[in-house]
């Protein structure tokens, strides 16, 4: 079952004060099925994160369509109303970044619990504790403000926050950067469980070997063209 | 220089997934001061539970929009609907001043940048809050006292200072009294006009934290005017950008801040971040 069909997807930034159009990618086509993991590869600055941000609509794509098959029917992420994107972010599409955005005077536990609060059932705090345990944040830090944490500790909070809610599509932007081996393993395990539940993922990974066993296909961005092949065995090496 | 402000990537569809009607719907809003067109054909919609940010430089008309929505002054043109069962009017601007006052009192809460606009500085803080209930006819002292206490507690104001007048409180505390007063009658719509501007940074953080917490717990529909993009990023779900009285761009908060499209929005964002 396809969850996402992307056709002619194009992004350029228009910077007014330079009066310049900066092209990023052009006429991208790909599709993603439920439970599939797509790895985005290519050199630095080629637009891997930009692709994820366009799909999440932090960036506005320039042209093309991204047909997302939501529980409510098919929505073109390129042109859906902002409030509809809000609904999808709330309920179906998650974005996992490599940086936490701590808020002053909000504890690690609260930061995680507030995104879990809408799911009902198990209390948000209990869920948040379970997630922080899973990603290995020391309990003595749960009540502390993450602004003072190390990069790795912040990232544990970030992962717990991003993955606490059930999603149908996850956009992963280098989530393993700054993580130690044990946490990378926890993340890979979590992603593997989610994949088994049918969650589709598109990810940019600095060290794809962490998730090699999850990868079904690859989009390779290059300056000349975009290629998609079924062969990703080299990734595992 | 060529004007490329109209360069918008792909035009957006009308909402389809969102299940509720907008709580606030404003169309064709116009306001002049003398020959100055302060607000020029502004349309906006705010959905239940949403926080809509309005950004723009001084004089862009953003605070005027808020005053018009608070029914403080008449609009020259436009319609304004508040979609709640208690309010039947199709256009709040068309009501008489008694009806407007009732709607302002019961359904709209406001926090101004300057506390003296929203508070009686010489009355007790608890009295300032309880006054909202007095207006609705509540006369039982114990009820008034408890309501003031609960509302001040919700805005994280220290209980032992509830009888101090705002005049002797710090700026951050005064904002908490304004907030307590604004939410005392559980309004449908909360209007925040630069609520943390002028506070020092650490106090600003705690007031923002209170606003965020309150918004999350009560899910109150909010319109927030601020020129501080950090405040907008923390609180707003969506943003409209105003310049010369007009809306020049709207979008999700992260999109406006990370991929601004209009010339002016790019200047604003690049200047602030």
State the complex-level ipTM: 0.91
Subunit contact B255:A57, Cβ cutoff 8 A: yes
Tally A–B CB contacts below 8 A. 107
Q: How far from chain centre, in Å, is Cα B140?
A: 30
Greatest C-alpha distance within chain A: 53
Assess if residue B202 is contained within a domain: yes
Residues 124-163 of A with CB under 8 A from B: none
Whether the per-residue pLDDT at A118 is higher than 70: the answer is no
Helix (H) or strand (E) holding A116: helix A108-116
pLDDT (0 to 100) of residue B8: 58
The domain tally of chain B equals 1
pLDDT for residue A98: 84
pLDDT given for residue B5 in this prediction: 43
A67 — contact with chain B (CB < 8 Å)? no
Q: If you measure CA to CA, which chain A residue comes closest to B213? A: A114
In order, the DSSP letters of B56-112 are --TTSSHHHHHHHHTTSS--SEEEEEE-STT---S-GGGS-HHHHHHHHHHHEEEE-
Residue B258 with chain A: CB contacts under 8 Å = 53, 58-59
- B235-247: pLDDT as tens digits: 999 999 999 999 9
Q: Has residue B37 got a pLDDT over 50?
A: yes
pLDDT at position B129 is 96
| Chain B nearest CA to A87, separation (Å) | 6
Interface test with B, best of A13, A58, A110 (most B CBs within 10 A): A58
CATH code of residue B195: 3.40.50.300
Cross-chain residue pair B252–A85, CB shorter than 8 Å: yes
Residue B71 domain flag: yes
Residue B273 pLDDT > 70, yes or no?
A: no
Q: Domain range holding B211?
A: 24-115+188-272
Closest partner CB to A75 (pick from B17, B216, B266): B17
Query: What per-residue confidence (pLDDT) applies to A166?
Result: 86
Residue B2: phi, psi to the nearest 5? Answer: -75, 145
Per the domain annotation, does B207 fall within a domain? yes
Residue B60 in domain: yes
Contact B78, B158 (CB under 8 A): no
Q: What residues contact B147, with CB distance under 8 A and at least 6 apart? A: B129, B130, B133, B138, B184
Nearest chain A residue to B262 by CA: give it.
A16
- Bridge partners of B52? B223, B238
User: Does residue B217 have a pLDDT over 90?
Assistant: no
For chain A, domain boundaries: 2-92+167-236, 100-162
Which residue out of B4, B6, B7, B10 would a mutagenesis test of the A interface target, given it has the greatest number of A Cβ atoms within 10 Å? B10
pLDDT tens for each residue of A71-89: 999 999 999 999 999 999 9
Maximum distance among all Cα pairs of chain B, rounded to whole angstroms: 67
CA distances from residue B109 to B96, B112, B186 in whole angstroms, order as listed: 19, 10, 8
In angstroms, the CA A173 to CA A178 distance is 13
Instruction: Answer yes or no: is pLDDT of A230 > 90.
Output: no
User: Any idea which architecture A2-92+167-236 has in CATH?
Assistant: 3-Layer(aba) Sandwich (3.40)
The separation between the first and the last C-alpha atoms of chain A, rounded to the nearest angstrom, is 30
Q: Is the dihedral of CA A73, A77, A81, A83 positive or negative?
A: positive
pLDDT tier for residue A199 given thresholds of 50, 70 and 90: very high
Distance of CA B60 to the CA centre of its chain: 16
B234/A81 Cβ within 8 A: no
Cβ of B17 and A17 within 8 Å? no
Out of A60, A79, A114, the one facing B13 most closely (by C-beta) is A79
| Closest chain A residue to B240, measured at CA | A82
Contacts of B255 in chain A (CB under 8 A): 57-60, 82
Q: Give per-residue pLDDT as tens, B154-203.
A: 999 999 999 999 999 999 999 999 999 999 999 999 999 999 988 888 88
Q: Residue B205: list chain A partners with CB under 8 A.
A: 104-105
Tens digit of each residue's pLDDT (9 = 90 or more) over B219-232: 999 999 998 999 99
Separation between Cα atoms, residue A34 and residue A194, nearest integer Å:
11
Mark yes or no for CB contact A83/B259 under 8 Å.
no
Does residue B44 lie in a domain region?
yes
Q: Are A172 and A202 in contact (CB under 8 A)?
A: yes
Could you tell me what percent of chain A has a pLDDT over 70?
92
Q: Could you report the per-residue pLDDT of B76-118, keeping only the tens digit for each?
A: 999 999 999 999 999 999 999 999 999 999 999 999 999 999 9
Residue B181 CB contacts under 8 Å (≥ 6 apart), including other chains: B109, B118, B119, B128, B129, B131, B132, B151
Rounded CA-CA distance A118/B257 in Å is 26
* Tokens (6 digits) for B175: 């904002």
**Chain A residues touching B237 at Cβ < 8 A:** 86
Domain annotation covers residue B125 = no
Please, which pLDDT band fits residue B1 given cuts at 50, 70 and 90? very low
Please classify residue A108 by burial: count the beta carbons closer than 10 Å to its beta carbon, then call 0-12 exposed, 13-18 middle and 19+ buried.
buried
Report field, pTM of the whole predicted structure over 0.90: yes
Any idea what the Cα angle at residue A185 is, between residues A183 and A187, rounded to 5°?
70
């Amino acid at each position: 079952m396809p969850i996402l069909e992307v056709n002619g997807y194009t992004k350029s930034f228009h910077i007014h004060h330079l009066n310049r159009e900066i092209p990023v990618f052009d006429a991208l086509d790909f599709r993603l099925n439920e439970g599939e993991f797509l790895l985005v590869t290519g050199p630095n600055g080629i637009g891997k994160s930009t692709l994820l941000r366009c799909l999440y609509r932090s960036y506005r794509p320039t042209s093309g369509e991204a047909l997302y098959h939501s529980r409510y029917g098919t929505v073109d992420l390129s042109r859906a109303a902002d409030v509809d994107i809000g609904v999808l972010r709330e309920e179906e599409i998650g974005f996992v970044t490599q940086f936490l955005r701590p808020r002053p005077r909000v504890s690690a536990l609260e930061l995680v619990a507030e995104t879990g609060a809408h799911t009902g059932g198990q209390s948000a705090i209990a869920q948040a504790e379970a997630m922080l345990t899973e990603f290995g944040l020391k309990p003595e830090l749960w009540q502390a403000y993450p602004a003072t944490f190390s990069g790795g500790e912040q990232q544990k909070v970030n992962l717990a926050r991003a993955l606490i809610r059930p999603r149908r599509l996850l956009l992963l932007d280098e989530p393993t950067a700054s993580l130690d081996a044990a946490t990378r393993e926890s993340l890979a395990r979590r992603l593997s469980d989610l994949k088994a539940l049918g969650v589709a993922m598109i990810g940019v990974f600095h060290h794809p070997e962490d998730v090699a066993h999850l990868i079904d296909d690859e989009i390779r961005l290059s300056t000349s063209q975009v290629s998609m092949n079924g062969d990703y065995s080299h990734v595992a090496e | 220089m060529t004007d490329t402000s109209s360069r918008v990537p792909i035009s957006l569809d009308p909402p389809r997934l969102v299940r509720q009607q907008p709580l606030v719907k404003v169309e064709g809003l116009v306001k002049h001061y003398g020959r100055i067109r302060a607000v020029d054909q502004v349309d906006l919609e705010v959905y239940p539970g949403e926080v809509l940010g309005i950004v723009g430089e001084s004089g862009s008309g953003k605070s005027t929009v808020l005053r018009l929505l608070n029914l403080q002054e008449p609009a020259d043109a436009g319609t304004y609907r508040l979609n709640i069962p208690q309010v039947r009017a199709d256009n709040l601007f068309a009501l008489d001043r008694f009806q407007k006052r009732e709607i302002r009192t019961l359904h709209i809460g406001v926090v101004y940048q300057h506390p003296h606009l929203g508070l009686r500085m010489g009355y007790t803080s608890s009295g300032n809050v309880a006054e909202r209930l007095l207006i609705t006819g509540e006369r039982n002292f114990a009820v008034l006292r408890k309501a003031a206490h609960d509302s001040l507690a919700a805005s994280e104001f220290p209980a032992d200072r509830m009888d101090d007048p705002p005049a002797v409180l710090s700026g951050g505390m005064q904002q908490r009294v304004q907030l307590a007063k604004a939410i005392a009658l559980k309004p449908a719509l909360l209007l925040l006009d630069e609520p943390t501007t002028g506070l020092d940074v650490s106090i600003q953080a705690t007031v923002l934290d209170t606003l965020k917490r309150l918004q999350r717990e009560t899910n109150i529909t909010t319109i927030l005017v601020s020129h501080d993009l950090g405040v907008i990023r923390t609180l707003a779900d969506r943003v409209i950008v105003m310049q010369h009285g007009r809306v020049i761009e709207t979008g999700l908060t992260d999109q406006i801040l990370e991929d601004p499209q209009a010339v002016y929005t790019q200047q604003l964002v690049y200047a602030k971040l």
